[in-house]
Amino acid sequence: MKKIVVGVLAATVLCATIFGAWYFVAGRYTKVPALTGLSQSSAVAQAESAKVQPKILPVYSETIKASIVFSAKPGAGTKVLNNSFVTLTVSKGPKPRVVPNLAGKSLDSATAQLAKMGLSIEVSSQIYASKPLNTILSSSPLAGSSVKRGSVVKVTLSKGLEPRPKVIVDYPPIFGTSGDYEVQIPRLY
96-189 has CATH 3.40.630.10 classification: no
Cα–Cα distances (Å) from 118 to 150, 163, 167, in that order, read 6, 37, 49
Note whether 32-95 and 96-189 share their fold. Answer: yes
Q: Where are the domains of the chain?
A: 1-28, 32-95, 96-189
Q: DSSP secondary structure string, 92-144?
A: --SPPEEPP--TT-BHHHHHHHHHHTT-EEEEEEEE--SSPTTBEEEEESPTT
Of the pLDDT bands very low, low, confident and very high (cuts 50, 70, 90), residue 165 is confident
Q: Which stretch of 31-40, 124-133, 134-143 has the lowest confidence by average pLDDT?
A: 124-133
How many whole angstroms separate alpha carbon 18 and alpha carbon 12? 10
Residue 104 has a CB neighbour count (10 Å cut-off) of 13
Q: What is the pLDDT of residues 42-99, one digit of tens each?
A: 999 999 999 999 999 999 998 999 999 999 999 999 999 999 999 999 999 999 999 9
pLDDT of residue 185: 57
Higher pLDDT, 166 or 58: 58
Average pLDDT over residues 33-50: 95
Average pLDDT over residues 3-13: 68
pLDDT of residue 84: 94
What global pTM score does this model have?
A: 0.59
Angle at 107 between CA 106 and CA 108, to 5 degrees: 90
32-95 has CATH 3.10.150.10 classification: no
**Cβ pair 124, 156 in contact under 8 A:** yes
